[in-house]
Amino acid sequence: MTIKQMIRENNRLQEQMTPANLKYYEDMVIYIRTSSVNEAKGEELLLEMAQHLLEAQRTGKTAEEVFGSDPIAYCAELVDELPKLKGLSRLQFNLMIPWVALTWFFFAQAIVGFVALWTGGSVEKMSQVRISTLLLIAAGSYVLIRAIMGLMKLESFQPEDAKRKISLRGLGIYVLVVVAILVGGVWLGRALPVLVVPPWGSLVIFIIGLVGTKVFFSRR
C-alpha cells in the first residue's frame, strides 16, 4: 500500500473506534507522525496498531488495556525502533515548508500585480520583492510549522490543564523567535537588494513551485 492508501485506511478504521479508544489512539497518531521517523514505516505501524485495537475492542478491551497505562513511554519505545528520516528524506522534509510558503507568496504577488495592471495602478511598485522578505517568509514559516508540530507532540496524552500550560509556554517561545526573525529581517532589509519581478514572472515562479512540490514532496 502507498502512504496515501494507508492513511485513508487508517481514517476508515478510526471511524469504528469508541470515543475513548479513538482519543487514546489519536494521541498515538500525533506522537508518531510528529516524530522524525520514516513516514512509510510510521504509517505501517499506525495501521497495524489500529487493526490490533479494533480486534481487542470487539472483545470489550480498551486502548489502555491493549497498549498500557503509560502511552508516552510506549510510543517513545516504538519511535526508537522505527527507522529515522535519513539523507534526502530529511532534507526534503525540512525544505518542503519554506518551499510551499514561498510558492504561495509568489502566487499572491502575481494576483496583486495583475490587479494593479488591470486597474491602472503602480505595477512597478507591486513588482518589487525584497530578498529580506523572502528570507523572512522562509524562516518564519519553518519556525511556525516546527513549533506547531512540537506542541502537538508535547500535548499528546496530556490532560487539558497541562495542555493549556504547554500551549502558553510554547506560544511565548514562538513569539520570541518570531520577534528575533523580524528584527533580523529589518536589519537585512537595509543591506540586501530589492528584486523586480513582474506579475507574469511571479506567476511562472508559482507554477514552477507547484510542479516542484508535486515532484519532490508528494506522498507516494
Return d(Cα 13, Cα 15) in angstroms, integer: 5
Local structure of 218: helix, strand or coil: coil
52 close to 66: Cβ distance less than 8 angstroms: yes
pLDDT at 126: 77
Residue among 204, 195, 194 at smallest CA distance from 110? 204
Split at pLDDT 50, 70, 90, the class of 104 is very high
Express as a percent the part of the chain with pLDDT over 70: 80
Q: Give the residue with greater pLDDT, 51 vs 70.
A: 51
pTM over 0.85, yes/no:
no
Choose the most confident range, by mean pLDDT, from 173-177, 183-187, 215-219.
Answer: 215-219
Mean pLDDT of 98-112: 93
pLDDT digits (tens, 9 = 90+) for 165-182: 545 665 666 667 667 766
How would residue 127 be classed by pLDDT, with cut points 50, 70 and 90? confident
Give 62-78 pLDDT, tens digit per residue.
999 999 888 888 888 88
Number of helices (H) and strands (E), helices first, in the chain?
10, 2
Q: What per-residue string of b and e applies to 164-197 under the rule 16 or more CB within 10 Å gives b?
A: eeeeeebeeebeebbeebeeebeeeeeeeeeeeb
Q: What is the pLDDT of residues 187-199, one digit of tens each?
A: 666 677 888 899 9
Above 80 in pLDDT, residue 183?
A: no
**What's the pLDDT tens digit per position in 2-17?**
888 999 999 999 999 9
Residue type, 47: L
pLDDT of residue 100: 93
Confidence of residue 208 (pLDDT cuts 50, 70, 90): very high
Task: Quote the mean pLDDT of the chain.
Answer: 82
